[in-house]
Structure 1
């Protein structure tokens, strides 16, 4: 984005946004109207380790990275968006949190789910960490995505969420998400997203899957 475009959008936004706590209107990850509001997180450092015994696969990744600015668009034009550290704490602490790990935000292509104990989500020093300790390699979607993760053909994530609170900077060039709700959203393995800082890893563990939740942050989709 050019500084001229950013400044022009901010000036227009300042004239029409009623208060700085208002959420972005028509939030999306590209200039085109109708583009999804996804936030990219690169799945850097993908690791796969085959034990040779046909066991399960372990997946680790960041669905979003905190305190890293990335470009988004609203009704007025481009702006920088940042997810605050700890923004998901309240949502992740929710009883019976329901979030699946999916391919491309397709709810019918689920690999794991918090309600079944096959998906663990937590916040770490980087952002929202995604840990699926025991993916079934016999699952069609797991067998489809595993070689692409190993080869680096797919190396990004995203997550679907709802913005609960946030605030525009005084000059309206930046929007900071202070709290989001991920319940009944998703964390997704994607081709491209909006936040380029996240990462993930897939491996076949030699020992029993870890039960301790960790976190990685990638791409975010926020509802209106």
Structure 2
């Protein structure tokens, strides 16, 4: 069994024992760099900025803040797993007549360039995902002027959204979590610089962007196991002995496979 398989298996086994029912949400879900509601970042399949049809020099932005039914890597209290947002998961939230969601840069609440409450942003769902449509961005706004050339040149081509999970379920083997409902009211949709790898890890790894698991070499995975053992030892747990599997290590104390990190 490869190191990757051992890491995934150990996380799934610990999760199976540590979660009471399949509808429980991921514990201490990690997906970003800021505290608060969860983040999911995706490479936009279609993000466009073009001249508006109005005569005031406005710009028209469209992009998918989330792509549905497509798995991405996440970490929770127990370790790595695959997560995906299910088609229609935002329907109830988007129907909220008081829906308040801004379009922002890099999840900075003060760098707003459109907002649902003043009619400059519309959010909708289709078979692909959560579509953000801002048809009249003010080209004279400093933030619009900053991001527009980066969008046109392809220097920035990803989006993200901030939300709260309201409904979901784990697969029978505890390796996948499907978000079946989310609330985006007072969250945001954001244009971000880098979103292909949305999680960070804690002490010893804090602030570093980890590569996707499938991109790690066997040597990288063994090093990750070693670092996890060292972190468990630092927290007062028991490191792996010569005859102990990684799954057995995770049975001890039911601690975190990766230490908590800022979300």
TM-score range (shorter-chain normalised) is 0.7 to 0.9
1:6-17 pair list within 5 angstroms: 6-17=8-19
Instruction: Tell me which residue corresponds to 1:91.
Output: 93
Q: Which has the higher strand share?
A: 1
Q: Which has the larger radius of gyration?
A: 2
Correspondence for 2:25 among 1, 6, 23: 23
1:64 CA displacement = 0.3
Seen in structure 2, the aligned counterparts of structure 1 residues 165 and 35 have a Cα distance that, compared at 3 Å, is: closer
Supply the distance in 2 between the matched residues of 1:122 and 1:62 (Cα, whole angstroms). Answer: 10
CA apart distance, 1:2: 2.2
Matched with 2:117 is 115
Q: Which has the higher helix share?
A: 2
Counterpart Cα distance in 2 of 1:181 and 1:107: 17
2: distance between equivalents of 1:112 and 1:47? 15
Taking the TM superposition and a 5 Å limit, the aligned residue runs for 1:6-85 are: 6-29=8-31, 37-49=38-50, 55-85=57-87
| CA displacement at 1:6 relative to structure 2 | 1.1
Instruction: Mark the runs of 5 or more structure 1 residues left unpaired by the alignment.
Output: 197-223
Which SS does the other structure have where 1:2 is aligned? helix
CA offset at residue 191 of structure 1?
1.3
Q: Map 1:205-216; keep pairs closer than 5 Å.
A: none
- Give the total of aligned pairs: 195
CA contact (8 A) 1:43 1:154 kept: no
Q: 1:103 to 1:10 in 2, by over 3 A?
A: same
Residue aligning to 1:214: none
Superposed CA offset, 1:9-68 (max 9, x none): 0011111111111110111127x99798422221345544458x7610000000001100
| TM-align CA RMSD | 2.5
Specify which of 165, 168, 171 is matched with residue 169 of structure 1. 171
TM-score, length basis structure 1: 0.80
Which ranges in structure 2 are unaligned for 5 or more consecutive residues?
Answer: 199-262
Aligned residue for 2:89, secondary structure, equals: coil
Q: Cα 1:114–1:64, aligned 2, differ >3 Å: closer, same or farther?
A: same
Q: 1:163 to 1:57 in 2, by over 3 A?
A: same
Q: Secondary structure at the match of 2:39?
A: coil
> What is the aligned partner in structure 2 of residue 132 from structure 1?
134
The 1:46–1:83 alpha-carbon spacing in structure 2 relative to 1, beyond 3 Å, is: closer
Cα distance in 2, alignment partners of residues 45 and 22 from structure 1: 33
Q: Distance in 2 between matches of 1:195 and 1:58?
A: 28
| Rounded Cα–Cα distance in structure 2 between residues aligned with 1:165 and 1:65 | 17
